[in-house]
Amino acid sequence: MNQASQNKYNPIGIFLSITFALSAIFYALIIYSGKVGGGAGYYAMGLMWCPGIAALITMKMLKRKVADLGWAWGKTRYQLKSYLIPFLYALIAYLIVWSFGFGAFYNEATVTWIKSSFGLGDHGDGIAMLLYVLLVGTFGVISSMSSALGEEIGWRGILVPELYKSQGFTKTSLITGVIWGVWHLPVLLFADYNSGTPAWYGMLCFMLLVVSISFVYTWFRMKSGSLWTAVILHGSHNLFVQSIFTPLTKDTGNTAYYIDEFGIVLPIVAVGFALYFWNKRKALDPVLQEA
């Protein structure tokens, strides 16, 4: 394929077509099983790697270098911030939840499980939670990143840089966020990818969250030049929201409507972060930045 023929092809169209074609296999498996954890969790892992595999196939088809996906580490300060930002917005959201009584801190059942799993016996609940957060918050992010990597090779490896060339920061963040959110909808609407709220409510909250944090992911990807910022952001988000803050929150009746990715509080906090990074858009490449 020569340069002229390469120009006839739309990298974004090719990437998205392959992504959704591959994803359809795992949508079907997850929906048939009725749960995201079906197939011992490998259905979900397979789904999360569809964008990454699609990106690699697209690069191969267009005879582009895989190195162009952004594998360089970049400046460590961006990676560190990528780890801490999801912790920060999750902490703010759950402090709001606990303070207003939308949910309670802490869930005794979760702490009992932690103490049993960690062999802590009669040790205090505070010690158990502290040890859990320290271990999961450090070593857990590694396994969380392994699944997040599959998505991010696609979303922030190829999709964001390609869109940014013509659309700039704001439109790239919005378009990527909508695509990213829609990609999740089959398992949200037809399986159990929800925290117990009605599907329409969970969908609206989830879409608002994903579009909002897309601004954060896009800013770090374009500012650092590194795919790894997005991988760490994604892995850290899943870790702190799904494995720490949500399990440690006790249901007080309607808690599902306020917590996790399908409740309203976290998306509202995420909008604030989106506005913050939107205001920092001028720090990005002025050549590609929209007026």
Instruction: Report the pLDDT value the prediction gives residue 119, as an integer from 0 to 100.
Output: 87
Using CA atoms, how far residue 152 sits from 13, 29, 77, in Å, is: 17, 22, 19
CA 27 from centroid of its chain's CA atoms: 18
Tokens representing residue 139 in the block: 């070593």
Range of the domain at 278: 67-283
Query: Can you tell me the distance from the alpha carbon of 42 to that of 48, in angstroms, rounded to the nearest whole number?
Result: 10
Q: Is residue 271 part of a domain?
A: yes
Query: Can you tell me the distance from the alpha carbon of 18 to that of 155, in angstroms, rounded to the nearest whole number?
Result: 13
Beta strands (DSSP E) in the chain are 103-105, 249-251
Q: How many residues does the chain have?
A: 291
Q: Is residue 244 part of a domain?
A: yes
Q: Is residue 3 part of a domain?
A: no
Residue 286 — pLDDT band, cuts 50, 70, 90? low
Instruction: Report the pLDDT value the prediction gives residue 288, as an integer from 0 to 100.
Output: 47
Residue 5 — pLDDT band, cuts 50, 70, 90? very low
Per-position b or e across 61-89, b if 16+ CB within 10 A of its CB: ebeeeeeebbeeebeeebbebbbebbbeb
Average pLDDT, the chain: 93
Instruction: Report the pLDDT value the prediction gives residue 7, as an integer from 0 to 100.
Output: 52
Give the percent of the chain with pLDDT over 90.
90
pLDDT at 74 over 60: yes
Q: Is residue 35 part of a domain?
A: no
Output phi, psi for 76, to 5 deg: -60, -30
Calculate mean pLDDT across residues 70-87.
Answer: 96
Q: Is residue 51 part of a domain?
A: no
List, for residues 258-282, the tens digit of each pLDDT value.
999 999 999 999 999 999 999 999 9
Q: Is residue 125 part of a domain?
A: yes
Instruction: Report the pLDDT value the prediction gives residue 118, as an integer from 0 to 100.
Output: 85
Calculate mean pLDDT across residues 80-84.
Answer: 97
List, for residues 148-171, the tens digit of each pLDDT value.
999 999 999 999 999 999 999 999
Amino acid in the structure at residue 227: L
Calculate mean pLDDT across residues 122-136.
Answer: 90
List, for residues 176-189, the tens digit of each pLDDT value.
999 999 999 999 99
Q: Is residue 21 part of a domain?
A: no
Q: Is residue 28 part of a domain?
A: no
List, for residues 226-242, the tens digit of each pLDDT value.
999 999 999 999 999 99
List, for residues 19-58, the tens digit of each pLDDT value.
999 999 999 999 999 999 999 999 999 999 999 999 999 9
Q: In total, how many domains does the chain have?
A: 1
